[in-house]
Amino acid sequence: MGDRLAGQVAIVFGGGGGESGVSNGQAAAMTYAREGAAVAVVDLDPAAARHTTDAVHAEGGTAVALTADVTDGDSVAGAVRRAAEELGPSDILHNNVGATVLGGPVDLDYDQWRRAFAINVDSVFLTCKYVLPAMIERGRGAIVNVSSAAALRHIGYAYPAYMAAKAAVNQVTVSLALTHAAQGIRANSVAPGYIDTPLVRRQLASQADSIDDLLATRNSASPTSRMGTPWDVANACLFLASPEAAYVNAVCLPVDGGLVMSAG
């Protein structure tokens, strides 16, 4: 256990985990807790939130499990309020919720397109709406939004709704960063490339004949010849949330093994 975030409270939306493997959100929550933060783990699935908090408690950390739908303002407001009651106001807001929506304009109906933006972008708006006031009042805070390398370049999947939504996350992050910089609040995003997560395996299973084929394709598409792990993403998020990044603001940090800058 470290102390880089000692005395701080982190609220992680989409922080749940499960038996199928560690998610990006679970890795972030556990990494924050390992560095001394008290963590509010928020997930749509209460069992997933408890899975992560159990893992934190097993390592001697402090965490509470909360449930919220990040596309519903009242639900988000309630989770933020309960987190503050249990742990205190949040010093770190981590937005991990996201979903790929496959298909182009011909394939998708309008509700599916709008759903992609509700999950990936509206969620950031709503969490910031209810977390920012306490940060502004105290004159400090760090926001870390999980974007995607797909916001920066085409990475092989036909999902313009997801690419556009994650690009919007990047620009929302820039606006938050510059709007609130003088108030002691920083906002940055990370853009994971090919990361091996349970969510990826579920949402992109249709893009290959088997899971093994999907993983082999993604491994070979990375400049490193292997996918990254949720811990790789979490460590980047930890840096952006920590005092070491006190002068890092409005940045979109690829965590992709060089994918975004590659010619492939």
pLDDT single digits (tens) 191-230: 999 998 887 777 666 777 788 888 888 888 899 999 999 9
Closest CA to 151 of 199, 189, 123, 204: 189
SS3 (DSSP) at 169:
helix
Per residue in 235-249, pLDDT (tens digit) is 999 999 999 999 999
Number of Cβ within a 10 Å radius of residue 101: 21
Which sequence spans correspond to the domains of the chain? 9-197+230-255
pLDDT > 70? residue 155: yes
- CB-based contact 40:63 (threshold 8 Å): yes
pLDDT > 70? residue 88: yes
Q: What is the pTM of this model?
A: 0.94
pLDDT (0 to 100) of residue 96? 97
Reported confidence tier of residue 157, pLDDT bands at 50, 70, 90: confident
Per DSSP, 36 falls in state T
Reported confidence tier of residue 86, pLDDT bands at 50, 70, 90: very high
208: alpha, beta or left? (left if phi > 0; alpha if psi -120 to 50): beta
Please count the CA atoms within 13 angstroms of the CA of 240 that sit on its side-chain side.
Answer: 31
pLDDT (0 to 100) of residue 204? 67
Q: What's the CA dihedral at 173, 25, 77, 138 to 10 degrees?
A: -60
| Sequence-separated (6 or more) residues with CB below 8 Å from residue 2 | 34, 35, 36
Per residue in 91-150, pLDDT (tens digit) is 999 999 999 899 999 999 999 999 999 999 999 999 999 999 999 999 999 999 999 999
Q: What is the mean pLDDT of the chain?
A: 95
Among 130, 159, 162, 194, the one annotated catalytic: 162
Number of Cβ within a 10 Å radius of residue 115: 18
Per residue in 16-72, pLDDT (tens digit) is 999 888 999 999 999 999 999 999 999 999 999 999 999 999 999 999 999 999 999
Alpha helix (H) residue ranges in the chain = 24-34, 46-58, 73-87, 110-117, 123-138, 160-180, 198-203, 211-221, 230-241
pLDDT (0 to 100) of residue 205? 67
- Residue in the structure block whose two tokens are 């972030």: 28
Determine whether 122 is exposed, middle or buried from the number of CB atoms within 10 Å of its CB (0-12, 13-18, 19+): buried
Determine whether 4 is exposed, middle or buried from the number of CB atoms within 10 Å of its CB (0-12, 13-18, 19+): middle
- CB-based contact 41:29 (threshold 8 Å): yes
- CB-based contact 117:166 (threshold 8 Å): no
CATH fold for the domain made of 9-197+230-255: Rossmann fold (3.40.50)
Q: Is 162 a catalytic residue?
A: yes
pLDDT (0 to 100) of residue 219? 87
